[in-house]
């Protein structure tokens, strides 16, 4: 047993040079993911969730690039890997699941061909064994009659079944880390729940570390062990999912919770967070959330933007919520 996290993201900065200046879609983000753990990364559209995931797997679209910080996979820095070295790592050490299963699958190849190709490439096994492993992978993700469906093409499956195939593909080379970016967003609600349950089971059974990127706090509540809440490229809050959900420290997290129809919240009316997230090129001074924050004070506008490091380690907020009891206990 080792305590080295499968993934460590350390002070990661991604920048995009533009004519109007340099944008920072990922600004000093740090977190770890342990084996067998699901870290949910949540936030509104444009918060920098996908950019963080893409930076980890080396799939940033130019001109976006990592300008500082580290990405460690089982303790090894990988942020400077390029080309073949990076390609070998993807698939073998890191699996990817994206929102639209059709973008991950080749429509011209049977799912069996795609699985066996990946398995043979990364696990160095012969054709027959690769085929057996492919069937086992499809069975594991719940494809009925896997042996006879292996010669089917992606379009012959329903959306939910296709996403199961993508999950099989992401896991077939036995990676240590899986990045799942909005894996359920394109699916019907009932199928979403099945895919979330499948991800959870596979994570537990195989001890894979999972980064689950989603805008949906409901999916986070259901699936994640810990949650990283992103806002305008920064971490707003990071903590165990149960604690964050029941006692959010950052007003933004509290706002996300209030606007999420979580089953446990009964029939309370949902409240949207007023306003919109600022554009990266036009961030307000001070805390980026202050224009939308019910609790903002003058110092939130005047002081440099709070970070987890400059605050209590859990929420990047000068006036965190729900910490009264803690300080009373300590008093
Ligand atoms: N080439 C680019 N030029 C300028 N800004 C960009 C470019 N690519 C991405 N961005 C910006 O980077 C920010 C982060 O985008 P990202 O896709 O990571 O957000 P997200 O949280 O995953 O949102 P979504 O859920 O919509 O995918 C966004 O504000 C986006 O507009």
Span 197-254, pLDDT tens digits: 999 999 999 999 999 999 999 999 999 999 999 999 999 999 999 999 999 999 999 9
In this prediction, the answer to ipTM > 0.90 reads yes
Tens digit of each residue's pLDDT (9 = 90 or more) over 29-87: 999 999 999 999 999 999 999 999 999 999 999 999 999 999 999 999 999 998 889 88
CA of 302 to the centre of ligand 1 (A): 27
- Rounded to two decimals, the pTM is 0.92
Q: CATH no. for residue 50?
A: 3.40.50.300
Sign of CA dihedral 263, 47, 252, 279: negative
Ligand 1: atom nearest CA of 182 is 25
Whether 48 and 197 share a structural domain = yes
Would 34 be classed as within a structural domain? yes
- Give the domain range for residue 315: 7-93+175-330
Q: Is the CB of 234 under 6 A from ligand 1?
A: no
CA of 154 to the centre of ligand 1 (A): 29
Tens digit of each residue's pLDDT (9 = 90 or more) over 113-143: 999 999 999 999 999 999 999 999 999 999 9
Would 106 be classed as within a structural domain? yes
Tell me the mean pLDDT in the region 172-189: 91
CB 98 within 8 Å of CB 53 = no
Tell me the mean pLDDT in the region 86-96: 89
Domain boundary pick from 130, 150, 174 = 174
> Among 12, 13, 19, 25, which residue has the most ligand 1 atoms within 8 Å of its CB, making it the best to mutate?
25
The span from the CA of 30 to the CA of 140, in Å, is 33
CB 32 within 8 Å of CB 7 = yes
- Residue that has been written with the tokens 């390609």 in this structure: 87
247: three-class secondary structure by DSSP: coil
The span from the CA of 51 to the CA of 61, in Å, is 9
316: three-class secondary structure by DSSP: coil
Protein residue with its CA nearest to atom 20 in ligand 1: 46
How many domains are contained in the chain? 2
Whether 137 and 64 share a structural domain = no
Whether 66 and 30 share a structural domain = yes
Would 241 be classed as within a structural domain? yes
């Amino acid at each position: 047993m080792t305590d080295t996290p499968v993934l460590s993201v350390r002070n990661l900065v991604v920048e995009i040079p533009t004519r109007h200046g340099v944008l920072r879609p990922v600004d000093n983000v740090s977190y770890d993911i342990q084996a067998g753990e699901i870290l949910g990364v949540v936030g509104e559209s444009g918060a920098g969730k996908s950019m963080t995931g893409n930076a980890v797997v080396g799939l940033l679209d130019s001109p976006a690039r990592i300008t500082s910080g580290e990405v460690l996979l089982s303790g090894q820095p990988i942020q400077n890997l390029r080309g073949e070295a990076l390609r070998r790592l993807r698939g073998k050490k890191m699996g990817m699941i994206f929102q639209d299963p059709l973008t991950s699958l080749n429509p011209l190849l049977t799912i069996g061909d795609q699985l066996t190709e990946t398995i043979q490439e990364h696990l160095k096994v012969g054709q027959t064994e690769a085929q057996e492993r492919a069937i086992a992978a499809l069975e594991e993700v719940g494809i009925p009659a896997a042996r006879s469906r292996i010669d089917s093409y992606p379009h012959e499956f329903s959306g939910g079944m296709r996403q199961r195939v993508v999950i099989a593909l992401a896991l077939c080379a036995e990676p240590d880390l899986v990045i799942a970016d909005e894996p359920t967003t394109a699916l019907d609600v009932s199928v979403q729940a099945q895919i979330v349950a499948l991800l959870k089971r596979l994570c537990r059974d195989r001890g894979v570390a999972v980064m689950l990127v989603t805008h949906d706090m409901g999916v986070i509540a259901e699936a994640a062990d810990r949650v990283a809440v992103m806002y305008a490229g920064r971490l707003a809050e990071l903590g165990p999912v149960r604690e964050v959900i029941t006692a959010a420290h950052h007003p933004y997290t509290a706002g996300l919770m209030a606007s999420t129809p979580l089953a446990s919240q009964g029939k309370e009316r949902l409240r949207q967070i007023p306003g919109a997230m600022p554009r990266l090129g036009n961030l307000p001074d001070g805390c980026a959330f202050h224009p939308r924050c019910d609790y903002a004070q003058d110092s939130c506008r005047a002081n440099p933007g709070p970070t987890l490091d400059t605050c209590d380690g859990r929420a990047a907020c000068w006036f965190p919520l729900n910490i009264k009891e803690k300080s009373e206990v300590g008093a």
